[in-house]
Amino acid sequence: MDTVLHVALGADLLGVFFFAVSGSLLAARKGFDLVGSLLLASLASLGGGVARDLILNVPPAAFTNPVYLVPPLLATVLVYFVFSRVERGMRVLVVFDAGGLALFCITGTLKALDAGLHPVSAALLGVTTAVGGGLLRDVVANEVPQLFDPRDIYALPAMLGSVVVTVLYLTGTFTLVTGTVAASLVFSLRVLAWRYGWHAPL
């Protein structure tokens, strides 16, 4: 049981880190200073989870466990001092954002199922968690949200991932292995869609 909780916390923190990097990268593109970078990283990485926890009526993890502040701090420093000018381009941002998307649709859906939500509602909350932070990031930075860009697909992989996780959970086949496969699927789908300009046929 303890192991399960550790893995869940680890996956959540990794997702937080991925979204935090996407926030710091966007801050760099917009010319924000170091504090602005930290704030946008925090909003992008913690916003979706806070919304999820408020809806589930549990204390928001970001405000009860200070360890959640480490990923945004780390991401800010990394992007500022380590990433070169080239690496601050759109390509790296999309990859990190996709990593956060993949992990959050899974951890969000699981947390909702564990809280006893109806499977349909749990999948909805998983998608909300996954797309929420990135949406806040883009709106606050005055960008057209990636979420609504008709030139590629963004929400569809997260929807697919949330449904897959719900089915795995209900059939008792959710394990570290199947969960990792689901996350990889969401991640690959999102990155490939962006790379090759796949878009919804409608």
Q: Which of residues 179-198 bind a second copy (CB under 8 A)?
A: none
| CA–CA gap between residue 65 and residue 83 (Å, rounded) | 28
Specify whether the CB–CB gap between 197 and 152 falls below 8 A. yes
The CB-of-100 to a second copy minimum distance in angstroms stands at 17
| CA–CA gap between residue 80 and residue 89 (Å, rounded) | 13
| CA–CA gap between residue 110 and residue 125 (Å, rounded) | 10
| CA–CA gap between residue 30 and residue 67 (Å, rounded) | 27
The CB-of-117 to a second copy minimum distance in angstroms stands at 7
Does residue 79 touch a second copy according to CB under 8 A?
Answer: no
Exactly one of 40, 95, 103, 106 binds a second copy (CB under 8 A); that residue is 40
Does residue 83 touch a second copy according to CB under 8 A?
Answer: no
Phi-psi group of 172: left, alpha or beta (phi > 0 → left; psi -120 to 50 → alpha; rest → beta): left
Q: How many CB atoms lie within 10 A of CB 179?
A: 22
Does residue 86 touch a second copy according to CB under 8 A?
Answer: no
Does residue 54 touch a second copy according to CB under 8 A?
Answer: yes
Exactly one of 20, 27, 94, 101 binds a second copy (CB under 8 A); that residue is 27
Residues found near a second copy in the complex (CB under 8 A): 27, 30-36, 39-40, 50, 54-55, 57, 59-60, 62-66, 69, 80, 112, 117-118, 120-121, 124-125, 131, 135, 139-142, 144-145, 147-148, 150, 153, 155-156, 159, 199-200, 202
